[in-house]
Amino acid sequence: MEASRDDFVIAIRSAFIQRGNKQRFSLFFLLILSILLLVLGRFNFSAINYIKVSVNELVYRSSFIVSVPENYLIDSYIKLTDHFTYYDHYQELKKENKKLKSNIENNNYIISENDRLKKIIDDYIIVSDEIIAKVLIDKQSPFLRSIIINKGSKDKIKLGMAVLDGEFLVGKIVEVNYTTSRVLLLSDLNSKIPVTIEPEGYQSILSGTGKNDGVIQYSKENISLEDGNTVYTSGSGAIFKSGIPIGKILEKKNVIYFSDFSQLRFVKIIAFEKGEN
Amino acid sequence: MSRFGKGKFLNRLFELAPIILLYISVLNEFDFNYLNLAYFSFNFPFILIFYWSLKKPENLGYGLIFFAGIINDVVIGFPIGTSSFTYLFICGFAAYLKNITLRSSILKEWLFFLFTILAVSSLSYSMLVLFFKLKISYLDIIINIIFTFFLYIIFASIFQFYQKLITVSEKND
């Protein structure tokens, strides 16, 4: 019994403490270094933040280059699948186009009326200069859903700015480096956005699920959401302006986003300011 | 002379292949997300690090693994140090298994790999949830571990075949 415990201790000591053949560092030393990095990172130690920003810049660029062959394969795969569904898409788009044309006529009137009303209630209406950014990395791990874009503090990107795919909200800036930034997608488990669900105008919080959809949380039990209800930003929390389209309700409280986060190539970054009355 | 030099260069490249593959995989995150397969995900660096730490640790320096972990954290957005900690623990488990084993058995290694990834994943995700207050889908982690476990045997066979090729190439030189 004593001998077997000794063997165990020797094996553990040999594995973790002793430096192996052709190894420059012992495992124990590197494990302590990792823990030190984690602890200092947890308490936002400034030196760690500088290291992090420098490593981020270097790694994001390298990752973009390394991902080129895989991205080429992905694009080819998508093109191929698109090719087989062109006709169906064409038919769908034809129907949609007809519907949209009839809506455009009504929209111009509603937009001008909306601008006038927003000025009265002092809402966010002025959009800062749009910054178009290229998506460098979109490796969405099963645990964290985020993308890296090629614009950073050099291009006046700030934390919390809204990130849009066309007119649809896809996320917000959560990390800014000198020439790159990280965007937390709406689908991430840690993403919480105040929303309005139209046409009833219910106020709620949209939370990511870690998958391709979102879920409506923290709303009253008795609200009746119907499939096809549209989800917009509510403007609460003073982060985004109200009325940015996000997605549609499908099956009770699930939200299908308008934008396909796996297909993001370029995104639009904007901040909102209040207009002068 | 030049033939000798070329052979030496190729041998060095073969030796470095695991570390090159590790760096490509952390920079590129092999994930197959674009296939839109529901729930499918696996952790290739876990497989690679465990196998090579067990079979030929001299081909995979601990310092390089540490840096690969830092890169992985940056790419997927985890707090710096999380993946290094996880990867180094996997190295430790593999080194322990190597120390206590006289005759290797693929089945024993496979089961020990399951124990290893369960232990290190529990440790690292507990840390992320408790200290960094990150929200994580436990179902995704379990599925990731299951696929990583099942795919180990396939990748281990490929690596074994590769190791044999290197040995033959070295003997010929």
B48-107 pLDDT, tens digit each: 999 998 888 887 888 889 989 988 888 888 888 889 999 999 999 998 888 888 787 888
Does residue B146 belong to the interface with chain A, where contact is any CB pair within 8 Å?
no
B99 chain-A contacts, CB cut-off 8 A: 10-11, 14-15
Residue A131 confidence (pLDDT): 86
Q: How many CB atoms lie within 10 A of CB B138?
A: 9
Residue B130 domain boundaries: 2-30+43-172
Does residue B66 belong to the interface with chain A, where contact is any CB pair within 8 Å?
yes
CB contact under 8 A, A30 and B140: no
Distance from CA of B4 to the nearest CA of A (A): 24
For residue B94, give every residue at least 6 positions away whose Cβ sits within 8 Å of its Cβ, in sequence order, or none: B49, B50, B53, B54, B57, B116
Q: Which of B28, B62, B79 sits opposite A66 (nearest CB)?
A: B28
* Residue B124, in any domain of the structure: yes
Does residue B37 belong to the interface with chain A, where contact is any CB pair within 8 Å?
no
Q: Which of B58, B77, B85 sits opposite A38 (nearest CB)?
A: B85
Q: How many CB atoms lie within 10 A of CB B116?
A: 24
Does residue A30 belong to the interface with chain B, where contact is any CB pair within 8 Å?
yes
Q: How many CB atoms lie within 10 A of CB A6?
A: 10
* Residue B37, in any domain of the structure: no
Confidence of residue B37 (pLDDT cuts 50, 70, 90): low
The two three-digit tokens of residue A41, written as one number: 């990172």
Q: How many CB atoms lie within 10 A of CB A253?
A: 17
* Ramachandran angles phi, psi of A238, nearest 5°: 55, 35
Does residue A190 belong to the interface with chain B, where contact is any CB pair within 8 Å?
yes
**pTM: predicted TM-score of the whole model, two decimal places:** 0.71
As a whole number of angstroms, the distance between CA A4 and CA B137 comes to 39
Does residue B78 belong to the interface with chain A, where contact is any CB pair within 8 Å?
yes
Q: Is the dihedral of CA A36, A42, A48, A53 positive or negative?
A: positive
Q: How many CB atoms lie within 10 A of CB B160?
A: 13
Nearest to A29 by CA among B84, B51, B78: B84
For residue A216, what is the enclosing H or E element? Answer: strand A213-217
Coil/strand/helix, residue A114? helix
Question: Tokens 């991902």 identify what position?
Answer: A67
Residue B113 confidence (pLDDT): 92
CB contact under 8 A, A139 and B34: no
* Residue B94, in any domain of the structure: yes
Confidence of residue B42 (pLDDT cuts 50, 70, 90): confident
* Residue B83, in any domain of the structure: yes
Q: Which of B36, B65, B80 sits opposite A41 (nearest CB)?
A: B80
Residue A125 confidence (pLDDT): 57
* Residue B38, in any domain of the structure: no
Greater pLDDT, B41 or B89: B89
Q: How many CB atoms lie within 10 A of CB B94?
A: 24
* Residue B115, in any domain of the structure: yes
CB contact under 8 A, B81 and A21: no
Distance from CA of B43 to the nearest CA of A (A): 10
Does residue A146 belong to the interface with chain B, where contact is any CB pair within 8 Å?
yes
CB contact under 8 A, B144 and A142: yes
CB contact under 8 A, A141 and B137: no
Q: Which of A14, A42, A190 sits opposite B135 (nearest CB)?
A: A190
Q: Is the dihedral of CA A79, A81, A83, A87 positive or negative?
A: negative
* Residue B165, in any domain of the structure: yes
Confidence of residue B1 (pLDDT cuts 50, 70, 90): very low
Mean pLDDT of chain B: 83
CB contact under 8 A, A41 and B77: no
Does residue B131 belong to the interface with chain A, where contact is any CB pair within 8 Å?
yes
Does residue A153 belong to the interface with chain B, where contact is any CB pair within 8 Å?
no
**C-beta separation of A220 from A204 below 8 A:** no
Domains of chain A by residue range: 29-62, 67-121, 127-277
* Ramachandran angles phi, psi of A77, nearest 5°: -60, -45
Number of separate domains in chain B: 1
Does residue B85 belong to the interface with chain A, where contact is any CB pair within 8 Å?
yes
A23 chain-B contacts, CB cut-off 8 A: 57-58, 61-63
Q: Return residues 100-119 of A near B (CB < 8 Å).
A: none
CATH of A127-277, one of 3.40.50.11260, 2.40.10.340, 3.20.20.120, 3.40.50.970: 2.40.10.340
- Residue type for position B88: L
Cα–Cα distances in Å, from B168 out to A92, B4, B7, B82, B156? 59, 16, 12, 38, 18
Percent of chain B's residues with pLDDT above 90: 23
As a whole number of angstroms, the distance between CA A182 and CA A149 comes to 6
B93 chain-A contacts, CB cut-off 8 A: 15
Confidence of residue B153 (pLDDT cuts 50, 70, 90): very high
Does residue A137 belong to the interface with chain B, where contact is any CB pair within 8 Å?
yes
Flag residues of chain A having pLDDT under 50. Answer: none
